[in-house]
Structure 1
């Protein structure tokens, strides 16, 4: 019989389990690896930085091979996926993937290590996302004489070519940040430092959901769907539950999609992904919202959720990276 210290408190199969002693056991996710000063496959250099001590927010920065010592590059602030409770900016999968993105797109990537549920239930990840976005953009008004400044951002970051993005839950975070930025522009409250404008956003297999099925989603079993279980686990106190505006961008209390704070978006969906119809639903809603920007949907048939991260060598993955590279200009 298990000891009382290892009795299960709650769990989210097959992702993780929480014990009554407070420990969390995660069953999925790739191993944490150190940054690589010079990756032999891509020529990308990476290092880890601290954005905030309290709460602890960090990031891994990926710098592609430079053509000259003072070269300026587009900036991509990236939020990793993992259902708000798994994976890391420091994981093998995201280290490999973002090295490829940095190399092929010739961009400076800031991959944010935000706090995870259940140790830090939502909205912690959204708070960290906003704080990190402001921290990065503050480098447009500071210099190397400030101790907390990141030299790579100051020396090589082009803040006129500033992008955000993410996959799944990270794409959800990026979407909500776009609304926050857009509404700060219209209200004049809490805008990004340095008058930085987001040039575009990449939402790969975004995690959205609602109490009602959309398109071809199954009505039967909708209440027991994985996104529903994940959301209730990572944000148990969410007002209106699965129809909270953070997870349902068309909820009655949600900010209008016409206020998205960038001029262009690229949305990816995969044919064999349970989130496919939600991505299409979101794309259609943005198009019909009155938003003045340009949104493009890339539908990759026959692929699974986040295929480009797990299998970057396949043709569809290579093509996806090329499409991202053409967007980040």
Structure 2
């Protein structure tokens, strides 16, 4: 993400979320949602009671907002987009929870992703590489009208 931010000349907000197994799976998503709400509060007057950062307001270009994550962080990104659409998280139901596997039967429809572009990176030795590839195919088949790009690193 650092290289991507540097090449894009972007301000980056990096979220340090709670990890499993020390915390429930949902903790990472809750922490990430809180961070996303904090960033959004800087350009959305409807979000109240969150301390804003004047430096971010003065230097951030919110017309070019980007959300990203690698490996398991990619799953968190997907869920932040879905939560931005739905404003809710789904119940925990084990290792194949729709938070972890957005292609699971019963997961929110991928056609409703509330963005215009999606960039997915998969690394050769990432244990979740195959899921990343499956995710891209599922998004393409969903009827979502945005642009999806895939980068596979070897």
TM range (shorter): 0.7 to 0.9
- Which runs of 5 or more structure 1 residues have no equivalent in the other structure? 1-96, 185-189, 191-236, 304-329
The structure having more radius of gyration, on CA atoms, is 1
Do the aligned residues in 1 keep the contact of 2:38 with 2:52 (CA within 8 Å)?
A: no
Q: Which runs of 5+ in 2 are unaligned?
A: none
Q: More strand per residue: 1 or 2?
A: 1
* Kept after mapping to 2: 8 A contact 1:259/1:291: yes
Q: Which has the higher helix share?
A: 2
Contact 1:181 1:260 in 2 (8 A): no
Q: C-alpha displacement at 1:141, in angstroms?
A: 4.5
Q: For residue 8 of structure 2, what is the aligned residue in structure 1?
A: 105
Structure 1 residue 139: Cα displacement: 0.9
Counterparts of 2:127 and 2:117, CA distance in 1: 25
Corresponding residue for residue 127 of structure 1: 30
Question: Runs of at least 4 residues of structure 1 off by over 4 A?
Answer: none
The answer on 1:168 being equivalent to 2:71 is yes
In the alignment, what sits opposite 1:251? 104
Is it true that 1:238 corresponds to 2:92 in the alignment? yes
SS at match of 2:64: strand
Matched with 1:271 is 124
User: Within 1, Cα distance between the matches of 2:98 and 2:149?
Assistant: 23
- Residue 158 in 1 paired to residue 61 in 2? yes
| Worse-superposed segment, 155-164 or 245-254 | 245-254
Normalised to the residue count of structure 2, the TM-score between the two structures is 0.85
Structure 1 residue 152, shift from structure 2 partner: 2.2
CA distance in 2, matches of 1:147, 1:252: 36
Matches of 1:141 and 1:294, distance apart in 2: 25
Q: Are residues 130 and 147 of structure 1, via their aligned partners in 2, closer, same or farther at CA, if it must alter by over 3 Å?
A: closer
Number of corresponding residues: 149
Give runs of aligned pairs for residues 57-76 of structure 1, distance below 5 A: none
Residues 116 and 147 of structure 1, relative CA distance in 2, 3 Å threshold: closer
In 2, the alpha carbon distance for the partners of 1:273 and 1:169 equals 10
Cα displacement string for residues 229-264 of structure 1 (whole angstroms, at most 9, x for unaligned residues): xxxxxxxx931x222111121222200011111111
Q: Do the aligned residues in 2 keep the contact of 1:269 with 1:298 (CA within 8 Å)?
A: yes
TM-score, structure 1 length as denominator? 0.42
Matches within 5 A, 1:169-184: 169-183=72-86
- In 2, distance between residues paired with 1:121 and 1:282? 24
